[in-house]
Structure 1
Amino acid sequence: MTGSLQIAFGLASETGRRPRNEDYAGVCLGSPGQRARRGIVAAVADGVGGAKGGRVAAELAVRTVIDGYYAQPETIGVQAAASRAVEAVNRWIVAQGRSDPALENMATTFAGVILLHRKAHVLHAGDSRVYRLSDGRLTRLTRDHTLSRPDYAHVLYRGLGIEESVRLDCSVHPLRLHDRFLLCSDGVHGTLGDGALAALLLRRESPEATARHIVAAALEAGSADNASAVVLDVVALPAADHAELASAAAALPLPDPPAVGEEMDGFRLTALLSQGRYSRLYRAHDLTAPGREGDGRPLVVKVPRPEVAAERTFRLAFVREAWVAARVRSPWVGEVVELPPGRQTRLYTVMPFYEGETLEQRLRRKPLTLAEGVEVAIALARAVSALHRAGIIHRDIKPDNVILQRGGGLKLIDLGVVRLPQVEEFPTADVPGTPSYMAPELFAGAAGDEASDQFALAVTLYRAFSGGGYPYGEIEPFTRPRFGRPVPLLRSRGDLPAWIDRILARALSVAPADRFGDVIEFAQELETALAHGRPVVVRRRPLYERNPLLFWKILSALLALTVLVLLARG
């Protein structure tokens, strides 16, 4: 499922030197709907061997907690839902241990992980453990509930079935792509230290193979207990939601832009690529990447210029860029590089460096040919359409935001000013858009939609063909332009077919309803016309369209002459 949480998992459990296996482990992926709303649940339980019914308690704990968690109302949250399920199982185990002689004093440990959205919720009672391997570092996420005295280190003071009401440790941890979780009983961690476990997990074998090797290593190291292990690999993560991104952006300071040559959060800024109205773009290298400096892929770091706009504007732009990049996957839309939690200490965005030039830079040399322009139109329309399908309006399509890649590809960039559905808008003073590319309705206060993006795309293509001209003339900021008829391309490009003017004129219509149904229809019209080689039909415009004043003067003169002739005859 694109944009969903996906894991790979494996588990292993061996009896070892004990007469029977009283551990129980399980993983429940749930249905696709449950997975999206409630998450994935994994758990390990170790039945207390000194009492009857340890295996029964362990299996009931894992199975019933999983079923009970999914049965709880979604609205109460993960921790409350899991706690209710654990409490219900605990009460049943306590009651059975007191009433059934065959299950007398039965009890079990419990260690569970619920992976939901971009978080791991850890639930724990007893001495089974949960570990996380992230960025090559192993961290234990639980604390054993055993007595601290060496002679009593195996004695539990907390678990399911030990007390009327179980005291459950709960914690929440951010999820990262490629995180690896290990859940294990004390038969594993009792003989394998953190270093040995880390070495086995770092081998990055399949989760199933890793779980088997961990259990085997514990038994070979002399474990006298049952040994169980569950290994979870985070394969894919859902996109961060808007609130999460906004919270992260609000916590980042906004200092003055750095100088070329400085290091910032492990990035060395090697060159200033451009300085726009709101930001500076630096070429950079990631010094934390494997290998020597500069061996990793080149990057672009986009840093805000806080002196030119409200701080809230930059934070909104940062959130939009990250939100869109996480949700839109298109070969024609620029990416944003997600940084690991805790690395970023100020507000900026990291993007791949695309070899090539902007469409604006290309136009400064010469305009596009007919075939080149239609090819750019098709790729750019696909990029815009990918945004529109996600409910996103770009709002600043122009040659400066189009990269023509060296290998022939195209990237639409600058996603920080997009309009998102049901998301807070920019302050009025900083509403985005470049006047010469803005549709007429935007000057009247409209927020922007698919039709206004189509208009901006058409202006961009007009400039690409004309070599820098604008269909309605260049529009200065803070002016209220009047839109008449677009200047025909044929005036500056007599080598182009007349159908180019006809198609562009429709996309440039003053009334949104007169434009194409969407940008793909616009591009297909251009592609079809080019493929069929429509003949150049230059319609000579009548005098009334070319010079209305002269037309009426001639008509008035003819009427006056007719009146004089009639009077002379009379």
Structure 2
Amino acid sequence: MPKDTVTTLQISIGQASLAGVKPVNQDFHGASVPSGQQLALKGAVLAIADGISTSDYSHIAAETAVKSLMTDYYATPDAWTVKTSASRVIAATNSWLHAQSGYAGISDADRGHVCTLAALIVKARTAHLFHVGDSRIWRVSGASLEPLTQDHQVALGGGETVLSRAIGVGHAVDIDYKAVPLELGDTFLLTTDGVHGFWQPKQVTQWIAASDDLDATAHQILNAALEAGSNDNLTVQILRIDALPQADQQFDAGMFGLPIPSLPSDGAQIDGHTILRQLHGNHRSYIYLAKAPDGTKVALKIPSSDLREDKDALRRFVMEEWIARRLSSPHLMSAPPSGTRTGLYVVTDYIEGQSLRQWMQDNPKPDFEQVRDIIEQVIQGLRALHRREMLHQDIRPENIMITRDGVVKLIDYGATYVAGVQETAPALEEGILGTLQYTAPEYFANEPVSWKAELFSLGVIAYEMLTGTLPYGTQVSRVRTARDRMRLRYRNARDDAHPMPDWLDEALHKAVHPDPARRHAHLSEFAAYLRTPSLSYQTRHKKPLAERDPERFWKTVSGLLAILCIWLATMAFK
């Protein structure tokens, strides 16, 4: 999509803060509105924190809570969702503030590094709300203000309340989260209790509706609250949505609008890359071995001209390099830094070796240790992906490479789901993106999908490596409902042609179970149970002592009988 047709998020912000009648302002607030791709992928952040009056350190806590969110949030991976990114930053800040109180020898939370926090992150067409304490977030609704947060307070009687939740009180913090769809013209307010305890909501909405200067309106709101008798610090932030991205916004990655290059011949130059030879080609793309400007070998992929009008296909195409540049695992394909582009193509690392499919053909009867080693390396790559909130979605032997040094790497991110990008530009319903015989049945039944779908694919591959066949044949691709899914019948991997321990077959069966909830709890658990029987298996198959060690059993029985006889004889003489 040409860049000039893209509508970006545009907002107006007004904010003000006063100490009020107090000598020190323990409130702190901040706003960050980046530009370009960072605005699209991370959004704009507003945050407000209120220190508690009983603490001499709460103003430090308030400033720390806001500043850390303003900076650290943007340092989190682009692939993470807003909820994951902000929650982890807030949790880390909470732990740090709690530790500071401990270092200072403060055992009373009311005198420690403690504050409230309300944060609003606007990304694409959604507002993400984070809340701890009694600062509030509101939305203008006609002539009234709609509260979007609920105070964390406990009533003590006599009208007095105390905070039941705050940043810095304990090692961990419970954060309220809410996602609110955005509409053009939506207006949000963040306030501390020195404001919303004394304002007139109808008056506030009238001022905002007539405002061309939100900063001036923010000061107007604070002055009115002071005149109404506010006895606390006062802070307000106002955010108005002036423009929203299109609902069908495509993910750019900086390459949409560039022309698709003509297919090059050996020796041709593309932006400093020298084409050495073609590696692969089909109706969707062409892959070339190329020498980068720094002399390293890379894989250069050019989309087929047939994809020129297929926006979804081009999105998946450009995403592959974007994803690869954000991965650093030795078991995942990565990509070199991006240079200036005159055409639409992607560049990734060139992996010298063979695909797992070729390896399986060369090793039709691998030993168990070879299979375990390959599966464990794939698991390491998958765990690195999952930590970035990504699902590969096309795990198959052709997408697993084994280098000449025996390092196993996952490749091809054309079908990869990226949670953070999905928030920015939701992909259309595209059906099954992976290869049918390795795709988990929940995809075909149109059910929720998690990392356990990747476990299923990996289990199918392990099964095929050991048996040369598939655990359900072609039946999985015929699944359409949850009932169809549960009708699948597993074919035992263990038979006369493929001898293996029962516990190993059980580990395979569990990995590819039709019900995701009954698969292994972790990828590492699957790896462990490929090496040793599970605890449940050992419990179910534990033999009694008489079978495991007959000699020891009868010696023990004889000893006990001897003791009994001696005791009976003693009793008889008495």
Short-chain TM bin:
0.3 to 0.5
- Greater RCO between the two (CA within 8 Å, min separation 6)? 2
TM-score normalised per structure 1: 0.46
